[in-house]
Amino acid sequence: MSVYVDSAIHALRGRLMCHMFSPDLDELHAMAERIGIEQRWFQDPLTMRVSWPHYDIDQTRRAIAIDLGAVVCDRYQTVAMAAIIQGRPDKLRRIRALADPSRAFAPATHVPAWLIEQGFAQIWNWEEADWPPESE
C-alpha cells in the first residue's frame, strides 16, 4: 500500500496546500509523523464534515513526503483513489467514463493502467454488487 499526494494546490492561510491520503490509515498516519504532521490535523469523515480521510499538507511537507516515497496523483487518479477509500463505486464509474478511449473527450485514459501499477488491478471492474472488494 502507498501514501499519495495530489497535484491540487490550494492557498490556505498564506500557504500552498494539497492533500495526503491512503487506503491504509496506519500507513497514512506513519507518513504524517515522518514528515512532521501531528495526528490531530488528520481530517476524519467520522468526526468532521469532510468527504474522505486525509491530511492537508503544505508544499514543503509535500516535497518531503514525495522524497519518502509518496506517489503523486493527478486529478483523475486522486478521484479514483478517493472512490477506493470511500467505497464509492459511483465515483469510480465517473472516472471510468472519462477513461473510455472511444469517447471524444477521454482525459482519464491513463487511470486503469495506473491503478494496476498501484496494485489495484481488480478495482476497474468492480460493480456495486462487488463492493467492497474481497481482499486477496
The DSSP bridge partners found for residue 20 are 5, 55
Q: How many domains does the chain have?
A: 2
Question: Is position 135 within any domain?
Answer: no
Q: Domain range spanning residue 34?
A: 4-71
**Cα-based distances in Å from 79 to 35, 36, 39, 83:** 24, 26, 23, 6
Nearest to 4 by CA among 27, 26, 21, 28: 21
Query: Is residue 33 situated within a structural domain?
Result: yes
At residue 89, the pLDDT reads: 86
User: 17: which DSSP letter?
Assistant: E
Q: Tell me the pTM.
A: 0.86
Q: Are residue 9 and residue 67 in the same domain, yes or no?
A: yes
Residue-averaged pLDDT of the chain: 89
Same domain as 60, residue 37: yes
**pLDDT of residue 130 exceeding 70:** no
Residue 21: burial class (beta carbons within 10 Å; 0-12, 13-18, 19+): buried
Looking at the domain assignment, is residue 84 inside a domain?
yes
Look up residue 75 and give its amino acid.
Answer: R
Same domain? 67 vs 118: no
111 has pLDDT over 80 = yes
**What percent of the chain lies above the pLDDT cut of 70?**
90
Which one of 8-12, 13-17, 19-23 scores highest in mean pLDDT?
19-23
Select the more confidently predicted residue: 92 or 31: 31
d(CA 119, CA 13): 36
Q: Average of pLDDT values for 18-41? A: 97
Greatest extent of the chain over all pairs of C-alpha atoms, in Å: 45
Give the end of a domain, one of 53, 71, 89: 71
pLDDT attached to residue 37: 97
Tell whether 55 and 17 lie within a shared domain.
yes
41: number of CA atoms within 13 Å, CB side?
16
In the predicted model, is pLDDT for residue 56 greater than 50?
A: yes
**Segment among 37-41, 53-57, 100-104 with least mean pLDDT:** 100-104
pLDDT band at 133 (very low <50, low <70, confident <90, very high): low
Residue 112 has pLDDT above 80, yes or no: yes
